[in-house]
Amino acid sequence: MLVQTLWAGYKDRNPKVLEHLAEEFAEISPGVFMNRTEFAQSMELVTLASITPSGFQITRADAHTVIVTYCLNFEGTYQNEPLQGPMRAATTLTHRSGSWQVIFHAETPL
């Protein structure tokens, strides 16, 4: 599943993750609102020891868009401050030009 692949890439700071983010990408997480550029910058500030997405549920919004909800467990740091899950996550993907792109992502603590 693309969402799992993207999280693994994020953990490894793989810049190919950005190829799957739409230009209008936005993320809302506790205390954070990021666009695509800010997300790219944040990849360098996050160090994840572990990350495990699980419990996927997929809802089709229309012919080209799905919303994936799941639990996200992780441990790591952001700017050397502790980060820890679990979180409830929702990732909205749309199919454009032959590939899936993330247009929106949100997380909230469980």
Extract the tokens encoding 28. 């809302």
Cα 12 from Cα 75, distance rounded (Å): 14
Q: How far is CA 93 from the centre of its chain?
A: 11
What's the whole-number average pLDDT of the chain? Answer: 94
- Helical segments of the chain, H only: 2-11, 36-43
Q: What is the pLDDT of residues 5-38, one digit of tens each?
A: 999 999 999 999 999 999 999 999 988 899 999 9
Q: Would you call the peptide bond into 86 cis, given omega within 30 degrees of 0 as the criterion?
A: yes
pLDDT of residue 28: 96
Extract the tokens encoding 77. 């740091």
Give yes or no for a contact between 46 and 20, defined as CB atoms under 8 angstroms apart. Answer: no
**pLDDT over threshold 90, residue 48:** yes
**pLDDT over threshold 90, residue 71:** yes
Cα 104 from Cα 94, distance rounded (Å): 10
**pLDDT over threshold 90, residue 1:** no
Tell me the whole-structure pTM to 2 decimals.
Answer: 0.93
Domains of the chain: 2-109 (3.10.450.50)
